[in-house]
Amino acid sequence: MEHIKIFTQLIASELHLSEHAVSNTLKLLDEGCTIPFISRYRKERTGGLDEVQITAISDRAEHLAEIQKRKETIQKTIGEQDKLTPELQKRIQDCWELTTLEDIYLPYKPKRRTRAQVAREQGLEPLARLLLMQREQKPMQAAQRYVQGDVKDVATALKGAQDIIAEQMSEDERSRNLVRSAFRREAFIVSKAVKGKKDTDEAQKYSDYFDWEEPLKRCSSHRLLAMRRGESEGFLRISLTIDDDEAVRRLKRTIPPAPFPGGGTCRKLLEEAVEDGYKRLLLPSIETEFANLSKERADEEAIRVFAENLRQLLLSAPLGQKRVMGIDPGFRTGCKVVCLDAQGNLLHHEAIFPHPPVNHRMQASIHVQQMIQDYRIEAIAIGNGTASRETKDFVEDCLKLPSPSGEGTGVRLFVVSEDGASVYSASKVAREEFPDEDVTVRGAVSIGRRLMDPLAELVKIDPKSIGVGQYQHDVDQGKLKHSLDQVVESCVNLVGVNLNTASQHLLTYVSGLGPVLAQNIVNYRKENGAFTSRAQLKKVPRLGPAAYQQCAGFLRIPDAKNPLDNSAVHPESYHVVEQMAKDRQCSVGDLIRNQETRAQINLQQYVTDEVGLPTLTDIMKELEKPGRDPREQIEAFEFDPTVQAIEDLHEGMELPGIVTNIANFGAFVDIGVHHDGLVHVSQLANHYVSDPTQVVHLHQHVRVKVIGVDLRRQRISLSMKGLK
């Protein structure tokens, strides 16, 4: 309990939040409440904290819990050595900074047999203390007393004593902080090409870093991760450097002055020990620490960017429940075509070959037109991979021809990102959905469904395979998964889920559910038919009161008898809306339909100890547009028809494009030439841009100017300055 109080104080101070809000949030999390639920339905208790703040509280509490666990281990280890004094124990208990905690523990930490340990076993620790006190006028003569056994001579004795001093200095908190401070202020990261590999084709992607150095504190996340990847692949050698001579001088200044002139020889021996301890022990330790720290910070930034990109992708505009044709384009193997009903069920599939080398264009055109008529197709989704532009041109020509019935089709055409579709098509989820179809059919279905509802389809795919991250395979995989899972959960619950059509995979991410309960809901649906009310959820096996409380508000039932079942109003607040309707002498449905009636409601009249103004305000917003989708409306897009390949580009061209990925250093834009161009952060706007996501978002339609084309490296440089 004492720990919770300390956690609350530390987190509130660090995040600049009230202790009351932090304390209540921690209690809610401890009770098993999810972050989306707390953010949406417990605003009175948290003071209106949003998901970002609640996530920060949760993450920080987990970190402090890990530190507390580490402190207990450290105290136990030191206690077993009979060295845990009350003063040392208090220092450990009061410490909540991991680096400082490890510094305190370092002198007591069990370690392999070091040179200093060997010297101690040879009985040289008293000699080391003599040198440290600098009171011995003739250290050589004093060392003679320790020449015995494995200590063959005076030089060996003095060297052993120096080893002990070097290790003590390297484990001393003041010395470590001194070197740590130097690294923090002035460390450089240096990258060099590995000899013999510089001229290989594989190494060329790292050519910018063959001879590179910059201050570590200015090294951006993407550059550090690029260098570290080059190092792991064997093309680069990375090191961190500071002014070693200056660092040694600073450490020598920490040696107390000799009490009398005769201490000169002792001082020289001490300075030698300090220099040895720095180069052999302290420098490698702090360099490793800062290498890990810089990598950790780079990981955090890369994960943050990836998470934001994923959020934007998952919240991409949906077409909605329309009858869709999905096309996975290809040349030699043809285009795989699927026809889906408005619920995304597969009705038909076949392959067409409109492109070389087969070139059955007329036959393919007839088949496409026939499928559009037979399955009453309303929209067509074409994957953006190989042969995408050619397939889009072919389908556009098909749509211009009169249909077999003689009527215009009115079909809308969209190009859809197919990143991860192949991963999905070979996954367990896809095999369970379509056990009798091959991977090409599953991939085309995924493309079609992505147009209808990107969120519902993309949750089936490992986020790392969706193609919106940078160096996602190089960062801490545990932290990446934790962050991305939180994003998926947040997006699913923000949009809400149709209880009667959602897949088991989508239901898994609903607040309070999970794989087992999600499958139980699907099974209940199969056995009993569609849900007609949220209250029916209580009949689902193993879905108890706690799970019902967490999930009910995020599940929607269109056309339910109670209109609130298709809204974000939580069942625990239904009685409030019913009382509002009763006071206005109308039904809940009338209250939703009539804005004038709602305008007459005085919210203060309904405030209680359990229901405050934040909840009441949310209820009124929801009654205005029950179950509204927060996502934008989808828009069609056209590439410049005169540009088909990178060779068609020249400087100065202005082209339409789609933002496909965002990194700290800029945005990647698809301009229809099979190679995305880069709008560097300096070219995003006429003003300084610190964060590209403040200027662009994923799938945004933009205009760009070509400012550079590197055919050898297949790189395209673009600018958005002055363009709209």
Q: Which residue stretches of 81-189 are H helix?
A: 86-94, 98-105, 115-121, 125-133, 139-144, 154-171, 173-186
Sheet holding 379-383, edge to edge: 346-352, 335-340, 324-328, 379-383, 412-416
The answer to whether residue 262 scores a pLDDT higher than 60 is no
Arithmetic mean of pLDDT over the chain: 92
* Distance from C-alpha of 701 to C-alpha of 660, rounded to nearest angstrom: 10
Q: What is the 3-state secondary structure (H, E, C) of 352-380?
A: ECCCCCCCCHHHHHHHHHHHHHHCCCCEE
CA distance 155 to 272: 13
In DSSP terms, 709 is beta-bridged to 716
pLDDT band at 264 (very low <50, low <70, confident <90, very high): confident
Predicted confidence at residue 575, as pLDDT, reads 95
Residue, of 626 and 76, whose pLDDT is higher: 76
φ and ψ of 33, to 5 deg: -70, 145
- SS3 per residue for 44-89: HHHCCCCHHHHHHHHHHHHHHHHHHHHHHHHHHHHHHCCCCCHHHH
Q: What is the pLDDT of residue 431?
A: 92
Answer yes or no: is pLDDT of 403 > 90.
no
Question: Which residue has better confidence, 237 or 4?
Answer: 237
The pLDDT value given to residue 456: 92
Confidence of residue 263 (pLDDT cuts 50, 70, 90): low
pLDDT tens digits for range 159-182: 999 999 999 999 999 999 999 999
Residue 704 · residue 723 · CB < 8 Å = yes
Give φ, ψ of 674 to 5 degrees: 70, 5
Q: At what angle do helices 98-105 and 173-186 cross, to 10 degrees?
A: 140
Quick count: other Cβ atoms within 10 Å of Cβ 180?
20
Q: How far apart are CA 366 and CA 404, in angstroms?
A: 9
Average pLDDT over residues 667-684: 92
CB 465 within 8 A of CB 420: yes
Q: Is the pLDDT of residue 278 over 70?
A: yes
Which residues is 214 bridged to in the sheet? 189
State the amino acid at position 708 in one-letter form. G
In sequence order, the 6+-apart residues with CB closer than 8 A to the CB of 544 are none
Residues comprising the chain, all counted:
724
Q: Token match 């340990």: residue?
A: 117
Whether the pLDDT of residue 261 is over 80: the answer is: no
Q: Which two tokens stand for residue 399?
A: 């749509």
Cα three-residue angle 532-533-536, rounded to 5 degrees: 100
Determine whether 334 is exposed, middle or buried from the number of CB atoms within 10 Å of its CB (0-12, 13-18, 19+): buried
Q: Sort residue 123 into left (φ over 0), alpha (ψ -120 to 50) or beta.
A: left
User: Mind listing the pLDDT tens digit for each residue in 77-132?
Assistant: 999 999 999 999 999 999 999 999 999 999 999 988 899 999 999 999 999 999 99
Query: CA–CA separation, 411 vs 422, rounded Å?
Result: 26
- Cβ–Cβ < 8 Å for 324, 379: yes
Neighbours of 237 (CB within 10 A): 14
Question: 184-221 pLDDT, tens per residue?
Answer: 999 999 999 998 888 888 888 899 999 999 999 999 99
Mean pLDDT in residue range 305-330: 92
**Is residue 294's pLDDT more than 90?**
yes
Query: For residue 260, what pLDDT band results from cuts at 50, 70 and 90?
Result: low
SS3 266: helix
- Amino acid identity of residue 591, one-letter, is L
**pLDDT recorded at residue 80:** 95
Residue 510 contacts residue 455 (beta carbons within 8 Å)? no
**655 token code pair:** 């082209």
Look at residue 406 and tell me whether its pLDDT is greater than 90: no
Q: How far apart are CA 695 and CA 312, in angstroms?
A: 13
The pLDDT > 90 percentage for the chain reads 78
pLDDT band at 466 (very low <50, low <70, confident <90, very high): confident
Q: Given its phi and psi angles, is residue 666 left (phi above 0), alpha (psi -120 to 50 degrees) or beta?
A: left
Query: How buried is 718 (Cβ within 10 angstroms: 0-12 exposed, 13-18 middle, 19+ buried)?
Result: buried
Those residues whose C-beta lies under 8 Å from the C-beta of residue 36, and which sit 6 or more positions away, are 51, 489, 490, 493, 494, 511, 554
What pLDDT band is residue 404 in, cutting at 50, 70 and 90?
Answer: low
**Distance between CA atoms of 446 and 418, rounded to whole angstroms?**
8
Do 458 and 484 touch, CB atoms closer than 8 A? no
- Dihedral over Cα of 617, 622, 625, 628: its sign: positive
CA-wise closest residue to 707 among 653, 647, 663, 668: 653
Is pLDDT of 17 > 60?
yes
* Angstrom distance (rounded) from CA 348 to CA 354: 19
Structural contact between residues 513 and 547, judged by C-beta atoms closer than 8 angstroms: yes
